[in-house]
Amino acid sequence: MEVGRLPIPINIRALLKNNDLMMAFLIVVLVAMMLVPLPTFLVDVLVVINLALSVGVMLLSMYVPRPLEFSVFPSFLLIITLFRLGLNVSASRLILTEGNAGDVINIFGSLVIGGDYVVGIVIFIMLMVIQFAVINSGAGRVAEVAARFTLDAMPGKQLAIDADLNSGNIDEAEAKKRRMEVQQEANFYGAMDGASKFVKGDAIAAIIVIIVNILGGIAIGVLQRGLDVTTALQDYVLVTVGAGLAVQVPALLISTASGIIVTRNTSTDTLGENVIHQLSNMRMLLGATVIVTLIGLVPGMPKLPFFLVAATLGGGTYALWRAERKRKQMEAAAKAAPPPPPPAVETPEQMMNMVVVDPVELEVGYALLPLVDEERADNLLHQVTNIRRQLLTELGFILPVVRIRDNLRLGPQVYRIKIRGEEVARGELYVDRYLAIPGGESDPSIRGVETVEPAFGLPALWITEAEKGRAEMIGYTVVTPLAALSTHLTELLRSHSSDLLSRQMVQEMIAHIRHRTPAAVDGVVPEMLNLGEFQDLLRNLLRERIPLRDLTGILEVVSKHAQVTRDPNILAEAVRQTMALTISNMYRDSDGYVHVFTFSPILEKTLRNSLSSGDGGLNLQIEPDLAQQILRSTGENMEKLAKDGFLPVLLCPRELRLAFRRLTEQAFPALVVLAFSEIAQGTKVKAHGMVEVPINRG
């Protein structure tokens, strides 16, 4: 180190790259502008910067497709308002001390007000009225309403995200990203509700500043400089109004940008593209053309302006008419084109392929073919892959290949799902609309095509993109046609998983376990249980959505009990007893409770006495009237649990579980029947009722 020189461990370049530090320094500078006198040249530069920032913000608010892409706008609004207030104070100090606020303000005032301070004051007041009473007031009200509706719609949006996650449409990372976006949207509109007050306060401050400058200028001119009142007005009022206009014209642009941001709907297009697309209505343009032409024909009216506007509107109408006619011709040609003939069957091998039934088929009408387009980032093929991955994670079940094909015999918007060649469900989709499901009572202001949500049978509407944002704010759950189809397909595959478990698939699963843990398979399949019996066992588990992920554990249970019985039903019950923790976790709510209803003691005793051994295990031998009463009481308890928002679960003794499940599975396929021994230790159970029927003791 050189003697007499102190090291300076400060990296100026690193400090300049620190955005947070630079922002803090900028805010300190803005506050200092109100305290430190500035030269006229610097004020000129700051006025130009103020104008450039305002124009840039307004253009950015028009170009961003989604308001959240400009989420920093509320904070930026506070900073630029502080900058404008500091500029106002600096300009006022120059006006009162020197009678001059810089060349930019002087030229601006001369061009706008033409040297007449009365005209300048009138124009300034008009700008303030427009900004304060029209733009700021409207934008503030929209921000307030948007904040309230966004908060109200948050639960519905969270449910939609959970539904997409559960159906496999999105993964956990995408769900986390969407939840963050919902939270950011609520924070943004809440912040905009408060930030709009900054602009309103700035307008009030501008009026106060110009009044103070005029009164102060007159006092200084008359009392200190010895000018008469008229000369003082001429000197000070002109420059004061010019400064006010130079500062408040950018403020008007910022207010307009604020209004644009809070009134934007979520879209993938910019504001200009949305406006042109939605206003390009041929009937509207034609009507406007006729009306303007008729007004121009009124005697005394100037012809040129009216006819010039009418010609412009007519040209736009003609262009839209040509585009619409071309689109209809293309649609007619597509409909008239005959379907390609099926390939000729030439060989016996090809003929045999025609009689092979696919495990899962999805047939779509021609209007739904865009959902299968491989060029789309998110198409039906990708969704099927996600569904297969989800079913593997949930049930340990490998979904067979899903055949997707078009069917011209179906309606254009119709799809149908077939399991092993037989139709199990069908639905209707509109690819250019969204499916809106009300969170509670439906709102009559939301217009659309009435329908039923295909997966769960809920009343819903097919709405346009223009209605989407408003429906979400009201509390509707809005999903795409692809998401609706994927959810429907997922629920059907869950409920038919036992039918889809083929013998070949079971053989492959056993081969995989044999490769990893040979001891789990050796001596069990096919020695104790043949492949068909083991398949029936796994199907029994899947029928009640018990996962097959721990196939090694299932084989160990079979090895212990198959020496006593080879009945797949009894073996499935034995497997269930070892999966108490898994079963409890399936039906435990977020608070750790399993919500159930049970048998009354008298009914439980009656059912025990009616048990009889038969084909496939124990069955209930009861009178039809008693069975009807039991089903009626069971349905009432299920409805009570469903109204409370819980999955209907019946908890009963182990020996009654399978027999009662067989009694109710046709009438109540959604009922979950659990044995007491299937509730894991430490699981909290809350009972909501009992199945009770009058028992004739006579």
Cα(634)–Cα(607) distance, rounded to whole angstroms? 14
Structural domain includes residue 390: yes
Claim to verify: residue 99 and residue 209 sit in the same structural domain: yes
Q: Are residues 287 and 196 in the same domain?
A: no
- Determine contact, residues 239/43, Cβ cutoff 8 Å: no
At 290-328, the pLDDT tens digits run 887 887 787 877 878 777 877 887 787 777 788 777 777
Same domain, 615 and 564: no
pLDDT above 60: residue 467: yes
Q: Residues 238, 160: one domain?
A: yes
Report yes or no on 243 lying in a domain. Answer: yes
Question: Which of 440, 468, 498 is the last residue before a domain boundary?
Answer: 498
The reply to whether 406 and 510 lie within a common domain is: no
1 occurs within a structural domain = no
398 three-class SS = coil
Task: Tell me which DSSP letter residue 268 carries.
Answer: S
- Non-local CB neighbours of 347 within 8 Å, separated by 6+ positions: none
What confidence score (pLDDT) does residue 698 get?
44
| Other residues' Cβ atoms within 10 Å of the Cβ of residue 579 | 20
314 and 451 share one domain: no
What interhelical angle do 238-263 and 73-98 show, nearest 10?
Answer: 180
> Are 135 and 252 spatial neighbours (Cβ–Cβ below 8 Å)?
yes
Exposed / middle / buried, residue 694 (Cβ in 10 Å: 0-12, 13-18, 19+)? exposed
**pLDDT in the model for residue 358:** 84
DSSP structure class, residue 251: H
Type of residue found at 506? V
- Give the three-state DSSP class for 298: coil
Is there a single domain that holds both residue 492 and residue 511? no
Q: Say which CATH number the domain at 462 has.
A: 3.40.30.60
Report which DSSP code applies to 544: T
Taking CB atoms within 8 Å and a gap of at least 24, the contacts of 2-9 are none
**Of 224, 239, 268, the domain-final residue:** 268
pTM as predicted: 0.52
- Both 231 and 261 in one domain: the answer is yes
Measure the CA dihedral 168/468/195/16, to 10°: 50
* Residue span of the structural domain in which 468 resides: 354-498
Please identify, among 498, 517, 541, the residue that sits at the C-terminal boundary of a domain. 498
Residues 286 and 241 in one domain: no
**Percent of the chain topping pLDDT 70:** 78
Does 449 lie in the same domain as 481?
A: yes
Q: How far apart are CA 493 and CA 87, in angstroms?
A: 67
Please check whether residue 15 lies inside any domain of the structure.
no
CATH number of the domain encompassing residue 554: 1.10.8.540
Residue 5, in any domain of the structure:
no
Q: Compute the distance between CA of residue 101 and CA of residue 45 in angstroms, rounded to an integer.
A: 12
**Is 427 found in the same domain as 400?**
yes
Q: Is residue 696 part of a domain?
A: no
Q: Is residue 348 part of a domain?
A: no
Q: What tens digit of pLDDT does each residue of 509-551 get?
A: 898 888 888 888 988 888 888 988 999 999 999 999 899 989 9
Token pair of 350, please? 């090809």
- Nearest CA to 136 out of 89, 206, 218, 86 is that of 206
Whether 531 and 659 map to the same domain: the answer is: no
CATH number, domain of 632, equals 3.40.50.12790
Report if residue 392 sits inside a domain.
yes
Q: What is the dihedral sign for C-alpha 556, 557, 562, 568?
A: negative
Domain count, the chain: 5
Selected residue with higher pLDDT from 232 and 636:
636
DSSP reduced 3-state for 196 = helix
